[in-house]
């Protein structure tokens, strides 16, 4: 996992990939993979986050937390579905060993990635994890949740998470779950034309579009590449996972966004 280990190597704490499996219906061959981003602190690396954006970066593990507690909810409710969760956990820090802009690393599936920004670390960690999930369990579908892009916050503020998917059944499933739970999502196009900005001269792909346009869509397209042919849905929860003030039933700071949404979606498969 060259991408995952690259992100983690600037920290004194090693990376961990946690995997939890729940089999609610042993007779079924269907299995859903849930993947949650677990960056326990994100400094931005050498593309350092500015003051005002780094202080709350302990929230960058909100995707992993949501997936973890979705698994707990599924088990407690006895939902008759089969689910495996993958939680990549590490820090993105600066040190003499930290990865740098301009580096190239090889992913779990052999894809080479040029690093244009060390602050686009989440998609690197998630890409290796998604590729591993496909290899390990060949899941029927992958649903992934991550605080991935500042562009999502710019677009939706703290009210909606972005949904990007290559599968209409997954889109309908998650939109229906959103309507029922009140955890609001809005669909963005996973249009391949946006991926041109990720083309690299020295690797298979770059980790960001240097023009910094369509950032949320580019992040979703980067991740989808590693899902291969598996139906895939990406939830960018960057704005909804951590609030600047109390909003309705959600407190200031951490909200647990995604637990109700994902639990409802799994139960309705």
Q: Residues with catalytic annotation?
A: 49, 123
Q: Which H/E stretch holds residue 100?
A: none
Can you tell me the distance from the alpha carbon of 33 to that of 189, in angstroms, rounded to the nearest whole number? 22
Q: Show Cβ contacts of residue 87 under 8 Å, excluding neighbours closer than 6 positions.
A: 17, 18, 19, 20, 35, 36, 38, 64, 67, 68
Can you tell me the distance from the alpha carbon of 142 to that of 93, in angstroms, rounded to the nearest whole number? 28
Question: Which residues make beta-bridge pairs with 247?
Answer: 250
Tokens representing 127 are 């890409």
Q: Which H/E stretch holds residue 66?
A: helix 62-77
**Burial of 210 from C-beta contacts in 10 A (0-12 / 13-18 / 19+):** exposed
Strands 242-243, 253-254: pairing is antiparallel
């Amino acid at each position: 996992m060259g991408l995952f280990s690259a992100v983690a190597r600037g920290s004194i704490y090693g990376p961990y990939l946690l995997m939890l499996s729940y089999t609610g219906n042993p007779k079924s061959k269907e299995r859903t993979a849930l993947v949650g981003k677990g960056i326990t602190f994100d400094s931005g690396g050498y593309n350092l986050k500015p003051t005002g954006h780094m202080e709350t970066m302990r929230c960058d593990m909100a995707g992993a937390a949501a997936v973890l507690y979705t698994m707990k909810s599924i088990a407690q409710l006895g939902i008759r579905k089969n689910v495996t969760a993958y939680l990549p956990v590490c820090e993105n820090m600066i040190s003499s060993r930290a990865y740098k802009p301009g580096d190239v690393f090889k992913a779990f599936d052999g894809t080479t990635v040029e690093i244009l920004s060390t602050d686009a670390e989440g998609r690197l960690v998630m890409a290796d994890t998604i590729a591993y999930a496909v290899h390990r369990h060949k899941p029927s579908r992958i649903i992934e949740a991550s605080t991935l892009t500042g562009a999502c916050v710019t677009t939706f503020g703290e009210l909606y998470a972005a949904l990007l998917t290559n599968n209409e059944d997954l889109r309908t499933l998650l939109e229906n779950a959103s309507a029922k739970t009140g955890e609001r999502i809005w669909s963005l196009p996973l249009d391949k034309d946006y991926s041109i900005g990720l083309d690299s001269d020295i690797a298979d792909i770059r980790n960001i579009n240097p023009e910094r346009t369509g950032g949320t869509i580019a992040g979703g397209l980067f991740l989808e590449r590693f899902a291969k042919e598996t139906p895939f849905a990406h939830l960018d929860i960057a704005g909804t996972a951590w609030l600047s003030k109390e909003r309705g039933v959600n407190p200031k700071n951490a909200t647990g966004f995604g637990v109700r949404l994902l639990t409802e979606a799994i139960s309705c498969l």
